[in-house]
Homo-oligomer: A and B are copies of this chain.
Amino acid sequence: MIVTFTDFGREGPYLGQMEAVLAHRAPLSRVIHLQSDAPAFRPRAAAYLLQALLAPFPPGCVFLCVVDPGVGTARRPLMLRAGAHWFVGPDNGLLLPAACSQGAMEARVLRWEPPFLSQSFHGRDLFAPVAAMLANGESVPGDPVQPDALQGWDWPAALWEVIYVDAYGNAMTGIPANSLSDAVVLNLADEHIPYRRVFGEVGPGVPFWYRNSIGLVEIAVNQGSAAERLGLEVGSPVGCAG
């Protein structure tokens, strides 16, 4: 199974063109579009989101990950073998938290070159063919690299920032939900944000934090938009109060 995780959006022909390459080169593999609106041009936020999304996938997936503001520069293309999964994408930290969470990891810088490489769409021209070959069980040329030589290797276990804002204005953070006790009061935009189990436990318009369905601390407002109410966006810092 090949799983895409990108910031392309669903609009336009980009996702469709990438899927065409996958269908061509790995005709027997299923393709799942896990998320297409990962934080645009924000590989660090996207990395912590990706890590939180792995749980429901069976062993043996190839994650094709493209949040790649450095496309066309000297940033390195990677394939990582971690646990029972493969991760393919740019060396900008995007793959690291997810791969590290899977146990033993083996990293290689891609040495495979496609027949045609556009300047701006390595997702289609480079990473998709590599993902397809890995899904087929083919070997792909690459040079071993020590994990601690990769971007993002020293990132913390929790990212105390907003990493995604959904359509309702709920703000996910990069903080694992099981790392905070119910007594913790968060501080965002100079407001104190207490824990509540569910939306119904606070009045309309009141902000709180809760443990979301992918295991992250999420900031919400009952019957309202936390992003609007608190002025949050991807990258907004989150602190502990008091």
Cross-chain contact A56 with B13 (CB below 8 angstroms): no
Cross-chain contact A35 with B12 (CB below 8 angstroms): yes
- A20 to chain B: which residues have CB within 8 Å? 3, 32, 34, 56-57
- A10 to chain B: which residues have CB within 8 Å? 10-11, 36
Cross-chain contact B11 with A37 (CB below 8 angstroms): yes
- A30 to chain B: which residues have CB within 8 Å? 23, 27
Whether a CB of chain B sits under 8 angstroms from the CB of A137 is no
Q: Which one of A98-106, A118-126, A187-195 is at the interface?
A: A118-126
Chain B residue with the shortest CB-CB distance to A34: B16
**A contact face: mostly helix, strand, loop, or mixed:** loop
- A213 to chain B: which residues have CB within 8 Å? 118-121, 124-125
Whether a CB of chain B sits under 8 angstroms from the CB of A214 is yes
Cross-chain contact A24 with B57 (CB below 8 angstroms): yes
Whether a CB of chain B sits under 8 angstroms from the CB of A212 is yes
- A13 to chain B: which residues have CB within 8 Å? 34-35, 49, 53, 214
- A58 to chain B: which residues have CB within 8 Å? 23-24
Whether a CB of chain B sits under 8 angstroms from the CB of A149 is no
Q: Given that A1-B23, A3-B20, A24-B56 are contacting pairs, would A120 and B212 also be in contact in the complex, using a CB cutoff of 8 Å?
A: yes
Q: Which of B19, B57, B166 contacts A11 (CB 8 A)?
A: B166
A182-202 with Cβ < 8 A to chain B: 197-198
Number of copies: 3
Cross-chain contact B1 with A56 (CB below 8 angstroms): no
- A9 to chain B: which residues have CB within 8 Å? 167
CA distance A188 to B170 in the complex (A): 35
Q: Which of B1, B17, B56 contacts A21 (CB 8 A)?
A: B56
Nearest CB of chain B from residue A196's CB, rounded to whole Å: 12
Whether a CB of chain B sits under 8 angstroms from the CB of A72 is yes
Whether a CB of chain B sits under 8 angstroms from the CB of A111 is no
Cross-chain contact A32 with B23 (CB below 8 angstroms): yes
Known pairs A12-B35, A12-B166, A23-B58. 18 more at Cβ < 8 A?
A: A1-B23, A3-B20, A9-B167, A12-B37, A13-B214, A16-B35, A17-B34, A17-B53, A17-B56, A20-B34, A20-B57, A23-B32, A24-B56, A119-B198, A119-B211, A119-B213, A121-B213, A125-B213
- A212 to chain B: which residues have CB within 8 Å? 120
